[in-house]
Amino acid sequence: MRCRLIDRITQLEAGHHIEAVKRLYAAEGYLEDHFPKFPIMPGVLMLETMYQAGYWLVRKTEDFAHSMVTLKEARNVKFSGFVKPGQDLVVHADIKKQDGSCSTLIARGEVDGKTVVSARLVVEAFELGDRYPSRAAGRDYLMRKLRRQFERVVAGTPEDPPNAGLSMRWLWIDRFVEFVRGERSVAIKNVSLTEEPLSDYIPGFPVLPASLIVEGLAWTGGILANDQRGFRERTVLAKVNRAVFHRPALPGDQLRYCAVLEGIEAEGAFIRGTSHVGDELQAEVDLFLAHLGDRFDEVEGDLIDPADMLATLRLFGLYDIGRTATGEPLDVAEKLQDGERLAQAAVDAART
């Protein structure tokens, strides 16, 4: 997908406030994975939409003075509702403080007037050439493209039908390299220039969106937490207590995600996550993953078919490298085995 999520800006007061809209289309391909039985907008893309609204507010406030405006920190990101296909996510962002190159924003997203996400964001403005001298020559290209993007979202005329081409699969780790049941998990994510989210995200300076790094850590920690509960829970990202990004993830980087299970209870799991490139700390993220239980009547059954989940875990190499705390190979959760048997029985029945 091309990771520009704002369809149109409906209000903009430089230095103060912005309101913008993102419509969720049923054709957005990642909904096949998130979730197959209950398609909703991923929480990290709700976060990304708030950041992008704040991004345009800061750019307009400083009259496009800097070539780069990046997400530096997110705190108290709370998810309190869903965005379903056909619904509009209306995001608001207000500048609360400006301190040198950094702006602090209070942001929220609403569906039908009800707040479904909120956060405190810190974005940083700087010159591309100051931090990446070898990329300085790309500044003029970048600024031309950004101004065109801004004109489109102000006019409410995005390219094509808005975001109609969001077709990527919702898999944000490549494989596990370490997994200790109930304790920690480590996964890698290779950043490639061919990945669509990098396209035109920052024109001329492709990076992996910070929100997708949060999602990668949520995958790494979520599988750790779900394995501990035998994959019986319906788990969603409910809160990002803190996310700090120390440097961007660039094409060619291999991100090493480490998730530590700090606590698990009936309501959900607490995950401490870090991302490294080599020995360099790239990001730190503290997450709370909620167990839905019976709190949402509109959610029925599993979010992901157990047989599909088991196939994905095998794809990630979980059972190749995973171990218990005492060093024994991981067993497959009974729920996943049952799901696989039922899926195979359905295939066998269809053949007879």
| Active site residues per annotation | 34
- Dist. CA 243–CA 222, nearest whole Å: 16
- Tell me the pairing of strands 268-277 and 254-264: antiparallel
User: Residue type for 46, please?
Assistant: M
| Three-class DSSP labels, 198-231 | HCCCCCCCCCCCHHHHHHHHHHHHHHHHHHHCCC
Answer for the pair 170, 30: CB distance below 8 angstroms, yes or no: yes
- Dist. CA 254–CA 262, nearest whole Å: 25
User: Residue type for 218, please?
Assistant: A
Cα distance from N-terminal residue to C-terminal residue, the chain:
41
